[in-house]
Amino acid sequence: MKIEVLELFKCNYAAINIPKGVFLLPVTLLVVVVLLPLIINFNESYSNLCAGSLETTESRNCNIFSGNWVPYSKGPYYNNESCPFIADKQNCFMHGRPDREFLKWRWKPDECELPLFDAKQFLKLVRGKSMAFVGDSIGRNQMESLLCLLNSVARPEDITARYTSKDDKYFKWWFYPGYKFIVAILWSPFLVKSSKTYLNDTSFYNAENLYVEEADKAWASHIQNFDYVIFSGGQWFFRPLTFYENDQVVGCQKCHNLTTDPLNLYGYRHAFRTAFRTVINLKGFKGMLFLVTHSPNHFENGEWNKGGGCNRTLPVNKEEKRFLQPYALEELYQTQVEEFTAAEKEAREKGLRFGLMNITDVMLMRPDGHPNKYGHNLDRNVSINDCVHWCMPGPVDTWNEFLLHMMKMERL
């Protein structure tokens, strides 16, 4: 009986015996389906890590602001029909600018490549964060460029009414709900407290009072919780100014003769010094500050109010730029850099991060990038050309390529 059972068991076992190859099949599939993608992914990640490390080392050792404008056939990121955020004064094609050659150039650093602007990457980087542009209309020019660059991926909501009850053209807040990202322009052309006579009197010839030791609350009262603060400015410091400290007059600019008096950069220097110190001493501020250096104008064949214009249609190179000498550009630039350098050292000692977006020489080579007479309807009787602001699209979009690159470097 035992023998019968044993034989039966052997027979049954033999009946269900499975070839070894059949057992290997699911194992093979497991390797192909599960392990192989992991191996490939690991290999790609390792390769990307190595490439990223090389790129990072190259980028960190490269001065991205030293270079030339080179031909670029692919054209701009957007146009005046695809982006609804272009201000009329910078919408050059809407007002009839006929040439397009100025759009076919791209900034090329001497020793590395400046990455193209990647809207998805930017929005991923700023998810849950906030960014404030503080300064004059040049800052607004850059912010509107940023809105256009992001528009291919996401469109923001205008949430200005949450912050001000005024119908104020000078302040704007935008919110990207899919990324919980806020971007704002906080208008402050002098960065410090002023008499604000320009709000009711746009005449260039009336003096403005500057209280150079007191930051303008228009921005100082808002930025504590911003993750990125971007200072720019300088275009309003050419007018007559009276400087106050402790409510006492300490100097003035163009207070005797508007035409022959030189610039007095005391107010300009102290405005940036006060702005930087305000950020450094702001309790609870843990964001990053960028200074965009002075944006050059390109009036030729006359001053801004005496028929000067900017009719060029091509950039200039490093050798040619020395023939372009915007009024007081070198002094303004050096003053900014000196104040920034001192402030950055103090900020670093306190654990704060300051970055210099050194666009002055970069943009000096772009006399072709301004609206000129195409910043307004050509049938309007306007005698002043705009050689201060920048057409959109145009070379101003490069500023946000710089911005994204610097933000990425800071995170590494």
Which residues form the catalytic set? 137, 386, 389
Determine how β-strand 130-135 pairs with β-strand 228-231: parallel
Cα(339)–Cα(295) distance, integer angstroms? 17
Answer whether 130's CB lies under 8 Å from 228's CB.
Answer: yes
